[in-house]
């Protein structure tokens, strides 16, 4: 029996490892194709590597091809799978360095090709200095460009989401002047405007120029290098342009091979991460990671949430099932955290905007409190916002913006959302209390109290 894995990052290699754990090399041969130079790396760590907080690319690699080889998993680096033949059960892989092609038969196939940066037509210029932030190879290229001659002095980051903001901060730390362009009225639109406003201020506080409501019209180049970004409000000189416009599932190969995708553009799977087409499961075909569509457990809607933590979980689930075990991936609730300078930003479940779009009637409650007892040194302020269903009081979502020790409190709220707790029941939660860790009423509890009042008032 042979397992072929397309994509050598978190999802694919988690699947390979879990399958190997349960089935030895005599029982199952495993071959993974990866078009880049690296396996199992943390793409989320790239901004910190660029910014200098993380030293050295290798720190971001969790497991090398040599380590996989030792575990009996063959990895073919710089090999891009260019065709899947489901009937003949073989893939065709192109050697990106050597130039040849090879065919590889399979009994089981894991499709874990990840995502690709959204790249509008205007960004497809034949010039250096324009980068996505998706792979470790991208990170290497950005590093080389920033260290190269002529030394870039001015950067424009296009898109104010997580990656855009993290990259903007990273380049400021490298001494580059940064302008951040965002098409909506505010960066970090993954949180509600009242919360995003605080993040907006923090970004400006880093010395980053933020231009909102700004649509990019084009790039200018000269001598094979990007030189400027064109917007309706003027042309911004730029020695480096970073695209932070999000990513889309890398499913071109799948659709070319007759494997259908869902409404979000990602592959559809069942709970065990088997690929599902219009006629049901596709035999022997699995998918995991940034190329798949999943379900939002609160809105019930299909969503595409490219995030390392989901990729790892989905890969693990596919691998356990491939190996003869049983595991399921039941969907996501939209938890995300990030850091902008000293400001921590976190969300879970649905924002007010998303709750409206999902058809919920709801109330919101925001409170300001501190991470530790007010009198204990180092107590930082934070704002906690809850979204709860009107009348039932079921917690639909939460957002936190605050200083140190704020963001990870989102986990408590995520587990409350996951379990469909009411904000009223949450007021009784037995959370950890001691002056170095929380006020006697934890910010989460204060928020639950206020939301309970709002729910009662809404009845």
Catalytic residues: 44
Nearer to its own copies, 167 or 416 (CB): 416
Residues 6 or more apart whose CB falls under 8 angstroms from that of 351 comprise 190, 191, 192, 387, 397, 399
Nearer to its own copies, 142 or 444 (CB): 444
Least distance from its own copies to the Cβ atom of residue 447, Å: 13
* Burial call 372-387: b when 16+ CB within 10 Å, e when fewer: bbeeeeebeebbbbbb
Least distance from its own copies to the Cβ atom of residue 84, Å: 28
Q: Is 428 an interacting residue with respect to its own copies (CB under 8 A)?
A: yes
CA gyration radius, the chain: 23
The conformation of residue 457, written as its DSSP 8-state character, comes to H
Q: Is 450 an interacting residue with respect to its own copies (CB under 8 A)?
A: no
Q: Is 416 an interacting residue with respect to its own copies (CB under 8 A)?
A: yes
Least distance from its own copies to the Cβ atom of residue 119, Å: 24
Q: Is 336 an interacting residue with respect to its own copies (CB under 8 A)?
A: yes
Q: Which of 8, 306, 334, 402 binds its own copies (CB under 8 A)?
A: 334
Give the angle 439-441-447 at the CA atoms, nearest 5°.
120
Q: DSSP letters along 242-300, please?
A: EE-S-EEE--HHHHHTT--B-TTSSBPB-TT-EEEETTEEEEEEEE-STTB-EEBTTT-
Q: Is 408 an interacting residue with respect to its own copies (CB under 8 A)?
A: yes
In this structure, are strands 130-131 and 302-303 parallel, antiparallel, or unpaired? unpaired
Cα separation, 209 vs 204, whole angstroms: 6
Q: Is 308 an interacting residue with respect to its own copies (CB under 8 A)?
A: yes
Cα separation, 231 vs 82, whole angstroms: 37
Number of residues that bind its own copies (CB under 8 A): 66
Identify residues 248-307 at the interface with its own copies (CB under 8 A). Answer: 307
Q: Choose one: 109-117, 134-142, 186-194, 423-431; the region binding its own copies (CB under 8 A).
A: 423-431
Q: Which of 120, 148, 300, 330 binds its own copies (CB under 8 A)?
A: 330
Q: Choose one: 51-59, 118-126, 246-254, 355-363; the region binding its own copies (CB under 8 A).
A: 51-59
CA 35 to the chain's CA centroid = 20
Nearer to its own copies, 279 or 457 (CB): 457
Element housing 3 (H / E):
strand 2-6
Q: Which of 72, 373, 380, 458 binds its own copies (CB under 8 A)?
A: 373
Q: Is 154 an interacting residue with respect to its own copies (CB under 8 A)?
A: no
Q: Are 248 and 118 in contact (CB under 8 A)?
A: yes
Q: Is 126 an interacting residue with respect to its own copies (CB under 8 A)?
A: no
Q: Is 405 an interacting residue with respect to its own copies (CB under 8 A)?
A: yes
Name 362's bridge partners: 389
Q: DSSP letters along 154-191, please?
A: EEEEE--SHHHHHHHHHHHHTT-EEEEE-SSSSS-TTS
Least distance from its own copies to the Cβ atom of residue 42, Å: 6
Q: Are 236 and 229 in contact (CB under 8 A)?
A: yes
Q: Is 38 an interacting residue with respect to its own copies (CB under 8 A)?
A: no
Element housing 366 (H / E):
strand 362-370
Least distance from its own copies to the Cβ atom of residue 429, Å: 6
Nearer to its own copies, 54 or 86 (CB): 54
Nearer to its own copies, 300 or 436 (CB): 436
Least distance from its own copies to the Cβ atom of residue 127, Å: 31
Cα separation, 315 vs 215, whole angstroms: 37
Residues 6 or more apart whose CB falls under 8 angstroms from that of 267 comprise 111, 249, 251, 254, 259, 261, 275, 287, 291, 292, 293
Q: Which of 223, 232, 359, 432 binds its own copies (CB under 8 A)?
A: 432
Least distance from its own copies to the Cβ atom of residue 455, Å: 13
Least distance from its own copies to the Cβ atom of residue 243, Å: 20
Cα separation, 319 vs 326, whole angstroms: 9
Q: Are 337 and 413 in contact (CB under 8 A)?
A: no
Interface ranges with its own copies (CB under 8 A): 10, 42, 44-45, 48, 53-54, 59-60, 162, 307-310, 312-313, 327-330, 332-339, 344, 346, 348, 373-377, 405, 407-412, 414-416, 418-419, 421, 425, 427-438, 440-442, 444
């Amino acid at each position: 029996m042979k397992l072929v894995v397309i994509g050598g990052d978190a999802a694919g290699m988690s699947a390979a490892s879990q399958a190997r754990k349960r089935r030895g090399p005599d029982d199952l041969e495993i071959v993974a194709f990866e078009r880049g130079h690296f396996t199992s790396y943390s793409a989320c760590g790239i901004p910190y590597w660029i910014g200098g907080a993380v030293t050295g690319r290798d720190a971001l690699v969790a497991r090398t091809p040599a380590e996989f080889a030792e575990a009996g998993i063959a990895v073919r680096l710089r090999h891009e799978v260019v065709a899947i033949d489901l009937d003949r059960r073989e893939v065709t892989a192109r050697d990106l360095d050597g130039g040849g092609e090879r065919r590889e038969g399979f009994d089981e196939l894991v499709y874990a090709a990840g995502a690709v940066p959204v790249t509008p037509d205007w960004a497809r210029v034949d010039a250096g200095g324009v980068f996505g932030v998706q792979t470790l190879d991208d990170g290497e290229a950005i590093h080389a460009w920033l260290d190269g001659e002529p030394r870039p002095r001015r950067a424009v980051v296009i898109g104010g989401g997580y990656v855009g903001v993290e990259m903007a901060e990273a380049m400021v730390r490298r001494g580059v002047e940064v302008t951040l362009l965002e098409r909506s009225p505010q960066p970090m639109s993954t949180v509600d405007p009242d919360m995003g406003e605080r993040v907006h201020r923090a970004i400006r506080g880093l010395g980053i120029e933020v231009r909102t409501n700004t649509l990019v019209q084009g790039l200018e180049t000269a001598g094979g290098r990007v030189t400027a970004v064109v917007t309706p409000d003027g042309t911004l000189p730029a020695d480096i342009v970073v695209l932070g416009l999000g990513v889309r599932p890398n499913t071109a190969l799948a659709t070319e091979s007759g494997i259908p995708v869902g409404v979000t553009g990602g592959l559809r799977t069942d709970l065990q991460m088997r690929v599902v087409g219009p006629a049901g499961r596709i035999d022997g075909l699995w998918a995991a990671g940034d190329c798949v569509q999943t379900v939002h457990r609160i809105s019930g809607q299909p969503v595409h949430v490219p995030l390392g933590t989901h990729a790892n979980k989905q890969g693990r689930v596919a691998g356990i099932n491939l190996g003869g075990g049983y595991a399921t991936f039941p969907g996501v609730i939209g938890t995300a955290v990030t850091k902008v300078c000293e400001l921590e930003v976190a969300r879970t479940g649905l924002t007010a905007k998303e709750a409206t779009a999902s058809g919920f009637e709801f109330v919101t409650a925001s409170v300001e409190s501190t991470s530790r007892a007010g009198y204990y040194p180092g107590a930082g302020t934070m704002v906690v916002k809850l979204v709860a269903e009107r009348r039932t009081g079921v917690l639909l979502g939460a957002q936190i913006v605050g200083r140190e020790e704020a963001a990870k409190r989102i986990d408590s709220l995520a587990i409350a959302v996951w379990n469909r707790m009411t904000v009223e029941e949450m007021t009784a939660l037995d959370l950890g209390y001691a002056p170095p860790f929380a006020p006697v009423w934890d910010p989460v509890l204060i928020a639950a109290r206020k939301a309970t009042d709002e729910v009662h008032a809404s009845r």
